[in-house]
């Protein structure tokens, strides 16, 4: 029975999700003129595609620099190495699509820098929470000041509500994380008892988990680095918002400033929602719907999405797989890790 449940979760649920995603894509582009779509691709100005590729990699470099600021008080690490670890995490998600990228990048950095994996992992969680707060703020700005397309229902109110909810959740969890740091050092606290129980049940494999997690709950001491973490998160979102600018310029499409912010926020919410319900293609579906709301023709919109998606896949995942290969991780090792995790579940 347990084997059937694992088989159901691994194959049947993803197949259902994939079929639903394809149905949504076909419905979204049911009026697509395929010949015109090919004309759009053929007539693209590939100089702007090159600019798009540079900005995609630049965004990842900012991500690595931001992580450096969070880790600096633990150990100064090169931004290039941290960027490579991020890309390796994306590459691992292609090999084993179960959301293991934070574990892979944390393991790589911990192994190369002599740190505990639990410590590094907590810093990636803090970084993700900061990104969530910044994203919520931008969503609020778009809702208040942006020219959101008019559709059935109040999309502006929806943006504002979703942004407020994200801000509340990420800020609250981040506050709880830092406020509970002192509990890790108290043997009689509930979190210490829980982690000590896990250490016993795992026969010592998680013996240093409590101290490792506590050490990773850090915030830079220097004001420059504190500001740098937040500024880098805003910079990443700003660079991400330009991706459709460059893809659009390649096809002769220019939108307003807030239109690009709207695209980023809408696609971001769609991606998060799709991951929550195990639906692939959230970025494609969300971006397609947002471009349709902005009045971009289906053929042009699909070409813009294709450029964004394929360039990201080729560069980010391709470089990530190369980093994994240099680190000695192959598909067999990744698959064996998943089998072990399944067996212990």
Cα separation of 93 and 95, whole Å? 5
Q: Is residue 296 part of a domain?
A: yes
223, pLDDT greater than 90: yes
331, pLDDT greater than 70: no
Q: Is residue 148 part of a domain?
A: yes
- What is the phi/psi pair of residue 278, to 5°? 60, 45
C-alpha torsion angle, residues 243, 244, 248, 254 (rounded to 10): -110
Q: Are 235 and 266 a contacting pair, CB within 8 Å?
A: no
Q: Is residue 11 part of a domain?
A: no
Cα separation of 98 and 152, whole Å? 35
pTM of the model: 0.82
Q: Give residue 150's Cα distance to chain centre.
A: 28
pLDDT given at position 141? 86
54, pLDDT greater than 90: yes
55, two tokens: 């900005």
225, two tokens: 């680095």
More confident site: 26 or 61: 61
Widest CA span of the chain, in angstroms? 69
Q: How many domains does one find in the chain?
A: 1
Q: Are 317 and 90 a contacting pair, CB within 8 Å?
A: yes
Q: Is residue 222 part of a domain?
A: yes
Q: Are 44 and 251 a contacting pair, CB within 8 Å?
A: yes
Show Cβ contacts of residue 102 under 8 Å, excluding neighbours closer than 6 positions: 89, 121, 124, 125, 128
Cα separation of 147 and 257, whole Å? 10
Q: Is residue 314 part of a domain?
A: yes
More confident site: 244 or 213: 244
Q: Is residue 9 part of a domain?
A: no
Report which listed range, 87-101, 240-254, 308-322, is most confident. 240-254
Cα separation of 314 and 317, whole Å? 6
Q: Are 148 and 262 a contacting pair, CB within 8 Å?
A: yes
Report which listed range, 18-22, 30-34, 224-228, is most confident. 224-228
Cα separation of 194 and 198, whole Å? 6
H or E stretch at 62: helix 46-71
239, two tokens: 């660079």
pLDDT per residue over 143-186, tens digit each? Answer: 887 667 665 556 777 777 878 888 898 899 898 888 888 777 67
Cα separation of 30 and 66, whole Å? 42
Reported as a pLDDT band with limits 50, 70 and 90, residue 21 is low
Show Cβ contacts of residue 127 under 8 Å, excluding neighbours closer than 6 positions: 66, 67, 70, 229
Domain containing residue 171: 16-336
More confident site: 133 or 146: 133
Q: Are 299 and 31 a contacting pair, CB within 8 Å?
A: no
Cα separation of 93 and 275, whole Å? 13
Q: Are 86 and 77 a contacting pair, CB within 8 Å?
A: no
More confident site: 326 or 12: 326
259, pLDDT greater than 80: yes
Q: Is residue 342 part of a domain?
A: no
67, two tokens: 């992580």
Q: What is the mean pLDDT of the chain?
A: 80
Cα separation of 63 and 283, whole Å? 20
Report which listed range, 4-13, 231-240, 261-270, is most confident. 231-240
pLDDT given at position 67? 94
Q: Is residue 272 part of a domain?
A: yes
186, two tokens: 């108290």
Q: Which long-range contacts (CB under 8 A, 24 or more apart) does 258-262 make?
A: 258/142, 258/145, 258/146, 258/147, 259/147, 259/294, 261/138, 261/141, 261/142, 261/146, 262/142, 262/146, 262/147, 262/148, 262/149, 262/290, 262/294
pLDDT per residue over 271-322, tens digit each? Answer: 777 666 666 667 788 888 888 888 888 889 889 998 998 898 888 888 887 8
């Amino acid at each position: 029975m347990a084997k059937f449940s694992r088989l159901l979760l691994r194959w049947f649920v993803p197949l259902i999700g994939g079929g639903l995603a394809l149905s949504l894509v076909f419905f979204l582009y049911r009026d697509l003129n395929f010949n015109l779509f090919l004309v759009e691709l053929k007539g693209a100005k590939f100089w702007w595609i090159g600019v798009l590729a540079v900005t995609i990699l630049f965004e990842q470099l900012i991500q690595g620099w931001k992580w450096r600021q969070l880790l600096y008080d633990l150990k100064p690490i090169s931004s290039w190495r941290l960027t490579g670890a991020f890309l390796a995490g994306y590459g691992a998600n292609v090999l084993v699509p179960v959301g293991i990228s934070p574990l892979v990048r944390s393991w790589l950095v911990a192994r190369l820098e002599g740190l505990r994996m639990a410590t590094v992992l907590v810093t990636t969680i803090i970084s993700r929470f900061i990104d969530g707060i910044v994203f919520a703020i931008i969503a609020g700005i778009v809702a208040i000041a942006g020219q959101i397309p008019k559709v059935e229902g109040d999309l502006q109110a929806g943006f504002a509500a979703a942004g407020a909810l994200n801000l509340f959740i990420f800020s609250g969890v981040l506050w709880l994380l830092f406020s509970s740091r002192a509990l890790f050092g108290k043997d009689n606290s509930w979190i210490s008892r829980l982690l000590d129980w896990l250490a016993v049940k795992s026969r010592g494999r998680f013996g240093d988990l409590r101290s490792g997690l506590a050490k990773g709950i850090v915030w830079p001491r220097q004001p420059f680095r504190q500001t740098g973490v937040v500024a880098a998160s805003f910079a990443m979102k700003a660079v991400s918002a330009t991706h459709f600018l460059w893809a659009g310029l390649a096809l002769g499409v220019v939108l307003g400033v807030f239109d690009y912010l709207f695209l980023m926020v809408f696609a971001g919410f769609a991606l998060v929602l799709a991951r929550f319900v195990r639906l692939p293609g959230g970025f494609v579906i969300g971006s397609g719907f947002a471009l349709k709301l902005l009045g971009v023709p289906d053929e042009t919109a699909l070409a813009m999405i294709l450029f964004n998606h394929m360039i990201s896949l080729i560069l980010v995942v391709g470089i990530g797989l190369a980093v994994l290969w240099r680190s000695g991780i192959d598909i067999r090792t990744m698959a064996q890790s998943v089998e072990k995790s399944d067996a212990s579940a």
